[in-house]
Amino acid sequence: MASVAASPAFSLLKSTGGAIASSAATRARASLLPITPSPKSTSPRPLGFSAVLDSHRFSLHVASKVHSVRGRGSRGVVSMAKKSVGDLTSADLKGKKVFVRADLNVPLDDNQTITDDTRIRAAIPTIKYLIENGAKVILSTHLGRPKGVTPKFSLAPLVPRLSELLGIEVKKADDCIGPEVESLVASLPEGGVLLLENVRFYKEEEKNDPEFAKKLASLADLYVNDAFGTAHRAHASTEGVTKFLKPSVAGFLLQKELDYLVGAVSNPKRPFAAIVGGSKVSSKIGVIESLLEKCDILLLGGGMIFTFYKAQGLSVGSSLVEEDKLELATSLLAKAKAKGVSLLLPTDVVVADKFAPDANSKVVPASGIEDGWMGLDIGPDSIKTFNEALDTTQTVIWNGPMGVFEMEKFAAGTEAVANKLAELSEKGVTTIIGGGDSVAAVGKVGVAGVMSHISTGGGASLELLEGKVLPGVIALDEAITVTV
């Protein structure tokens, strides 16, 4: 294992810039997302000022350019917390029309059957809380990337599953604004749910058109954003509506995502390891740079490692390499060393003679990749060393597969990481799966249920891990601002 530095780091938190790496494709997601919304106090409270002070329910965390350094003591910063739906009591909610923006962008097959309902299940706690407190829920989401009204992107296939999970009959509107929607809202009973049609059927949604946002907002009395997967988009239903609806608060899912992806990562139980994989270093620069500020151990896998190998003078055959990122790779290695982060690159790899499931393959040391061969997975020695490093940790975050896990021959490294994290999670280690293909891998291995947190947002989680501000979060009402 090429250990750039052996001693753990204890770095200050600070914001990082970095490239955007938003994987836009809707991916298959793990089928067993653990949903554990924080239990809510039912005692009446003034809105807002509760969250930071009474617990860590929603204590820290907006992905702002500055994060809290609570407990780290070296730098005074501002900690912003957002109001949570849990701060709203039945006195606030009973009979009120609540516009809930969820991310129900689930994959559908050719028969319009939902193939993974993770995002629907993830939205349930917030909706249930609202209906149990007598609110009238106006539920909004996008599905896919339609250009105008497109029947195959209608939300009709979502209604039966939503109804089943909520235990009530969910009504659906054929539009998301206009007189017909208004009359359906008017007839909505307390505890009822009306699903608006795909909000992206209007181009004004993605343009964050203020008039369109105003029309959406006019349907309701207050706003809950629970659409973590879309929180990195400044759209009318995620950002624009907050200008017209007060209060505008975070739902339980959004809160949980922030608690883990910002809270647990910014203030981790140590040692804290980050595992970063995926195809290209260019898509993960921001994440690597940001995590280097926070973690003690950084494990790298996936296609990106070959750029690091080449930067160190190794032959990489026909492996994926980004020639224009060689200097960057060198500087990331130097940065890890300077910060005392133990950066581990795989010492052996599985190479193939073509990019195909039936390719010939063999295991070679990192220094032994011949011309005509490409590295498609990490090798068994690397798995062993990664496992030993992970055994020392208390917090682990994982983003990106270790190899081409979609092909069975090159899935062992990714599956080994998934299994190791499951084992650690069961021993009490905090395990966070940061969205995207790693979520699909965890689902494939069947260990999603034991992880501490599995993000429902690919692009959103990456942006958050890079330290970027999510427009859908920043627009929400603040609970309190603390200068430490």
Ligand X SMILES: O=C(OP(=O)(O)O)[C@H](O)COP(=O)(O)O
Q: Which stretch binds ligand ADP (CB under 6 A): 175-183, 257-265, 325-333, 435-443?
A: 435-443
Which residue is listed with tokens 């954003």? 225
The Cα 420–Cα 412 span in angstroms is 12
Q: Which residues pair with 481 in a beta bridge?
A: 80
Site for ligand ADP in 175-204 (CB under 6 A): none
Considering only 37, 86, 229, 302, the residue that binds ligand ADP (CB under 6 A) is 302
Q: Which stretch binds ligand X (CB under 6 A): 249-257, 317-325, 384-392, 452-460?
A: 452-460
Residue 26 touches ligand X, criterion: CB under 6 A: yes
| Residue 361 Ramachandran class (φ > 0 left, ψ -120 to 50 alpha, else beta) | beta
Considering only 376, 421, 454, 470, the residue that binds ligand ADP (CB under 6 A) is 376
CA-CA-CA-CA dihedral for 472, 257, 23, 333, to nearest 10: 120
Considering only 229, 303, 457, 471, the residue that binds ligand ADP (CB under 6 A) is 303
Q: What angle do CA 73, 76, 80 make, to 5 degrees?
A: 110
Considering only 225, 283, 290, 456, the residue that binds ligand ADP (CB under 6 A) is 283
Q: Which stretch binds ligand ADP (CB under 6 A): 142-150, 155-163, 227-235, 276-284?
A: 276-284
Q: Angle at which helices 326-339 and 285-292 pack, to 10 degrees?
A: 10
Nearer to ligand X by C-beta: 57 or 232? 232
Structure-block tokens of residue 370: 């011949």
Site for ligand X in 113-152 (CB under 6 A): 145
**Integer angstrom CA distances of residue 109 from 27, 115, 153, 184, 220:** 12, 7, 12, 30, 33
Q: Is 166:127 a contact under the CB 8 Å cutoff? A: yes
Give the residue numbers annotated as catalytic, written as ranges: 119, 280, 436, 459
The Cα 463–Cα 287 span in angstroms is 8
Site for ligand X in 92-111 (CB under 6 A): 103, 105
Q: Is 81:68 a contact under the CB 8 Å cutoff? A: no
Q: Angle at which helices 118-132 and 159-166 pack, to 10 degrees?
A: 50
Q: Is 462:435 a contact under the CB 8 Å cutoff? A: yes
Nearer to ligand X by C-beta: 221 or 226? 226
* Residue 55 half-sphere exposure toward CB, CA atoms < 13 A: 10
Q: Is 44:89 a contact under the CB 8 Å cutoff? A: yes
Judged by beta carbon distances under 5 to 8 A according to partner kind, the member of ligand ADP, ligand X, none in contact with residue 204 is none
* Residue 248 half-sphere exposure toward CB, CA atoms < 13 A: 19
Q: Is 85:102 a contact under the CB 8 Å cutoff? A: no
Pairing of strands 136-140, 193-195: parallel
Q: Which positions from 410 to 449 touch ligand X by CB under 6 A, shown as an x/- string? A: ----------------------------------------
Residue 89 touches ligand X, criterion: CB under 6 A: no
Judged by beta carbon distances under 5 to 8 A according to partner kind, the member of ligand X, ligand ADP, none in contact with residue 459 is ligand X
The Cα 92–Cα 291 span in angstroms is 40
CB of 301 to ligand ADP, least distance (A): 7
CB-based contacts of 239, cutoff 8 Å, min separation 6: 208, 213, 233, 471, 472, 475
Judged by beta carbon distances under 5 to 8 A according to partner kind, the member of ligand ADP, ligand X, none in contact with residue 268 is none
Size of the residue set binding ligand X (CB under 6 A): 15
Q: Is 204:236 a contact under the CB 8 Å cutoff? A: yes
Judged by beta carbon distances under 5 to 8 A according to partner kind, the member of ligand ADP, ligand X, none in contact with residue 229 is ligand X
Nearer to ligand X by C-beta: 247 or 435? 435
Residue 278 touches ligand ADP, criterion: CB under 6 A: yes
Considering only 37, 240, 251, 436, the residue that binds ligand ADP (CB under 6 A) is 436
Considering only 31, 279, 312, 394, the residue that binds ligand ADP (CB under 6 A) is 279
Judged by beta carbon distances under 5 to 8 A according to partner kind, the member of ligand X, ligand ADP, none in contact with residue 320 is ligand ADP
Pairing of strands 97-101, 222-225: parallel
CB of 211 to ligand ADP, least distance (A): 36
Residue 230 touches ligand X, criterion: CB under 6 A: yes
The Cα 168–Cα 124 span in angstroms is 12
Site for ligand ADP in 316-345 (CB under 6 A): 320
Residue 23 touches ligand X, criterion: CB under 6 A: yes
CB of 278 to ligand X, least distance (A): 13
Residue 346 touches ligand ADP, criterion: CB under 6 A: no
Residue 279 touches ligand X, criterion: CB under 6 A: no
The Cα 230–Cα 460 span in angstroms is 7
Structure-block tokens of residue 334: 């130097």
Q: Residue numbers of the site for ligand ADP (CB under 6 A)?
A: 23, 278-280, 283, 302-303, 320, 375-376, 399-401, 403-404, 406, 436-438
| Residues near ligand X (CB under 6 A) | 22-27, 103, 105, 145, 229-230, 233, 457-459
